[in-house]
Amino acid sequence: MPEYVPSPVEWVRNQVEEYESSGGTKGTTLRETGLPVIIVTNAGNKTGAIRKTPLMRVKDGANYVLVGSMGGAPKNPVWVYNLRANPDVEIRDATEVQNMRVREVSDAAERARLWELSVAAFPPYADYQQKTARTIPVFVAEPV
Ligand code: F42
């Protein structure tokens, strides 16, 4: 069994810990925004270690939209490369846990629709895109 390696970032690591240890009943929102968060569990593409990443909850029917914004930082978050290499993930949304498969969205019309949905769920995504020269990667997670 691969080992779980927690995030090196303290507040992120703590959110995962509180969310998971409570079975999805505590620590399920982003700080003062009160907006809902999901936990994506996947394998690292180099180490194979288990990684857990909290992301904003953007729902599109039965699917989730995963936005690699990282606060508008110049570089993509590392989890983007992990998901490109291995699209099988588990998603925890509060108390519900599902196996899902992700695909990166490249179609312009589909991306535009999902981006609008993402900004509606979490308005700061629009500012994050303004802050960075990279096109923020967008993934769709679909039930398997
Ligand atoms: N980040 C977002 O991008 N979008 C969001 O909507 C979002 C919401 C959110 C809500 C709550 C919260 O607590 C955090 C939130 N974050 C959001 C931050 C998010 O959880 C991540 O912390 C952030 O996106 C950065 O992701 P990262 O994968 O770059 O994390 C870094 C800090 C990290 O874990 N680095 C590891 C390390 O050890 O340095 C690398 C881990 C790794 O995956 N290694 C790979 C492996 O094989 O194991 C190798 C990967 C490679 O290619 O080198």
The pTM for the full model equals 0.97
**How far, in Å, is the centroid of ligand 1 from the Cα of 71?**
11
The domain locations on the chain are 10-143
Q: What is the DSSP letter of 5?
A: -
Task: Report yes or no: 77 and 129 within 8 Å, Cβ to Cβ.
Answer: no
**Ligand 1: nearest atom to the Cα of 9:** 32
| pLDDT tens, residue by residue, 22-66 | 999 999 999 989 999 999 999 999 999 999 999 999 999 999 999
Mean pLDDT of the chain: 97
| pLDDT tens, residue by residue, 90-114 | 999 999 999 999 999 999 999 999 9
End-to-end Cα, the chain, rounded Å: 22
**How far, in Å, is the centroid of ligand 1 from the Cα of 14?**
13
What's the whole-number mean pLDDT along residues 122-134?
A: 97
Give pLDDT, residue 87: 98
* Residue 35, ligand 1, Cβ within 6 A: no
Tokens of 38: 């999901």
Task: Report yes or no: 113 and 62 within 8 Å, Cβ to Cβ.
Answer: no
Task: Report yes or no: 89 and 40 within 8 Å, Cβ to Cβ.
Answer: yes
**How far, in Å, is the centroid of ligand 1 from the Cα of 42?**
11
**Dist CA 105 CA 91 (whole Å):** 18
| pLDDT classification of 1: cutoffs 50, 70, 90 | confident
Task: Report yes or no: 107 and 73 within 8 Å, Cβ to Cβ.
Answer: no
Length of the chain: 144
**How far, in Å, is the centroid of ligand 1 from the Cα of 105?**
19
**Ligand 1: nearest atom to the Cα of 46:** 47
Question: Of the CATH numbers 1.10.10.10, 2.60.40.10, 3.40.50.300, 2.30.110.10, which one belongs to the domain with range 10-143?
Answer: 2.30.110.10
